[in-house]
Amino acid sequence: MGRILGVISTKLVMERSDFLRDGAPRRMENEFGQATVFLTDRTALILRHGDDPRNHILPHLINHRANLKALKDIGVGEIVGINSTGSLKKAFSPGMIVVPDNFITLTATPTIPNSSTVHITPSLSDSVRQKIINAADNCDLKIVKQGTYWQTHGPRLETKAEINMMANFADIVGMTMANEAVIAQELEIPYASACSVDNYGNGILDEPLSMEEILEGTRKNADLMIQLLHSYLNISP
């Protein structure tokens, strides 16, 4: 058996998957709080917004430190984040999957520094990124192999002016990935993300953006993400 793969996603994406259906929930506690991990023999899944739709954890309230430390304590070898994003450019249309190679966030990220990681230079794992790309190729899944992710604080969506400004520097926008990437690097766990483009950002199209549109886009892309993860496991040792 190979190393356990950590997966961070949402219930909306994972609700029909065997990663959640066959996963044994383990309630874990560490110095940063509590986290629930769904374990199979090869994966450790965390639902970043929780598993109770009546108690949805908003992006700015997610306990990223507890979640990532739980995966560290389990002993995962690497982490793939499955992140929902909005497009900043018409060329990145809903339904696409982007594997970002860089990110921007201008707000403070949660941190777990120690003597060796207090001054990290944030980045995404090249090895995990390449495995995501190879996994997509192996199952004939078309993806965008690089791009820049802009993280906002949330929970509100962005103004048209903000989207217009971000589009000069990034390709997709979300509220969670940079936090996960920074903490994972501090914990010395290789991390990269497959980002589902679920909607256009506010103002990219003439039609107003709604939460219903975003959720529907996430549902449509869920099966593609599950397919990608299974292919990733097939190429992992």
For residue 3, pLDDT over 50 is answered with: yes
Question: In terms of pLDDT, which residue wins out, 24 or 211?
Answer: 24
Place of tokens 């996994």: 135
Q: pLDDT: is 109 or 206 the higher one?
A: 109
Answer yes or no: are the C-beta atoms of 174 and 85 closer than 8 Å.
Answer: yes
Query: DSSP code of 189?
Result: -
Place of tokens 């994003």: 85
Judged against a pLDDT cut of 60, whether residue 80 lies above it is answered with yes
| Block residue for tokens 């993400």 | 225
Residue 207 confidence (pLDDT) above 80: no
The pTM for the full model equals 0.92
- Topology of domain 5-235, CATH: Rossmann fold (3.40.50)
**pLDDT reported for residue 53:** 76
* Distance, first Cα to last Cα, the chain: 8
Interhelix angle 126-138/211-235, rounded to 10 degrees, is 90
Summarize the confidence of residues 166-189 as an average pLDDT: 97
Is residue 220 over pLDDT 90?
no
Taking alpha carbons only, the member of 83, 198, 224 closest to residue 149 is 83
pLDDT at position 209, please?
60
Q: At 59, is the secondary structure helix, strand, or coil?
A: helix
Q: What is the mean pLDDT of residues 41-45?
A: 96
The pLDDT > 90 percentage for the chain reads: 76
Q: Are 167 and 202 contacting, i.e. CB atoms less than 8 angstroms apart? A: no
pLDDT tens readout for residues 114-123 = 766 678 899 9
| Whether residue 215 has pLDDT greater than 70 | no
133: which residues sit within 8 A by CB, 6+ positions away?
99, 143, 145
Q: Across all residues in the chain, what is the average pLDDT?
A: 92
CA dihedral in degrees (236, 151, 225, 72; nearest 10)?
40
Residue 89 CA, distance from chain mean position: 20
Asked if 12 and 218 count as a contact pair (C-beta separation under 8 A), the reply is yes
Domains of the chain, by residue range, sit at 5-235
Question: DSSP alpha helices (H): ranges in the chain?
Answer: 11-14, 18-21, 64-74, 126-138, 160-166, 177-186, 211-235
Most confident listed range (11-20, 50-59, 68-77): 68-77
pLDDT of 174 above 70: yes
Tens digit of pLDDT for each residue in 87-144? 999 999 998 999 999 999 999 899 998 766 678 899 999 999 999 999 999 999 999 9
